[in-house]
Chain A
């Protein structure tokens, strides 16, 4: 199989279109399962009572915000090296979803921090580096929007995305490297310090966020493809096809 074929928007557009409904369906299934386990099956926490349940949104959102940035930087770097049109489009399509998750992570963290820690916000290393991540996303989106020529916009954005990668290990290890108000991580590849049902609910919610992120960014990537290649024959054909199918 020739994988390079899918590096062209022309081949990727219909493929993405066929995949999107599946990812939406999986997002719904995992989301419902995660919420059921999280709210109905998992017990309250010994110390935090019912308030800890915001973890089922907070942790998946934080994971996604970091992981999406890595994927975005990967696509941006690939685009910079190989000049693939598609990889720049993917990087661009991921940014708003990543920004949303970063915001969600800060927002839910703030809602959680007030009752448990006693403050909405603290300038602690974990919180501050996550805020910088949100700024990086916003900066990437703004920089790309500010440059009219898409190829120059892609290159400028890609460099910003790559520079920002430094921040990701800082966020992840901040709770290990420094004294922080934020507690250490409960889950890593080797072990978890959460009760099994709680962990199960959180992982299901994380999977739901993954599926959602893939579905949304593929849909956004399709829009960007159409917009950027609107003068080409394949776009005209695709639009004609969709118009016929819609009638």
Chain B
């Protein structure tokens, strides 16, 4: 792996070296490394690009890293990864994709991740997207995440896109079973002429299921963002979605929340706020000696932390 790919790997997965535990590293469409453990198996799909990750029931405190890096300009790929998480397992899954585009052609990665989380299993899923390179070619990333939570299962998804992705359409669909809960935390920053579209659909199918969707974003310069969330309560459940955006410069942000209750005991809440940085926040930090630009950076970094 070259220095560019190693830098991407560090950005998206925080990896300086080969990770402990199970991993599968994909570089420019090829497998660049894989490790399995006694409890976690990774198998290449035969019918299409991608892998199946099988985590045995009862696996505790193990992690799986599946980073993807693209440094070849013009490469376009769709990758299908399926995660099967056995009953009572408790694992951390770190995905992430970095694109370095130094050329003039569009580089594109579409990752389709499906999670089948069995009874009472717990998953922490971290996904980071990052782009670099000064070529004129676009860096495009379209992640799709499909989540199936069985009774009592729990999945927490942290998804972050802070830099360098020109265009993204992020689709997340979930089915939440009885007593299961889903937590999604999304952080996005766009600048230049980038566009980011987020689309969540969560079906709350089981009694006492719960979902919390929190999106925080900053749109700078001429970038555009669209946040759409749909929560459908088909049983007694608690659903909460929150979209909080800072708009700057000439940017454009839309938030479209949708709540549907098909059960009298479905309790659903949506909060959305879009606004510029409050003048008094800038002023306060300036009275502490920061310049306006420094104050703005502090506020944005804190907001997306």
Whether A associates with B in a native complex is no
The residues of A with any CB-CB pair to B shorter than 8 Å are none
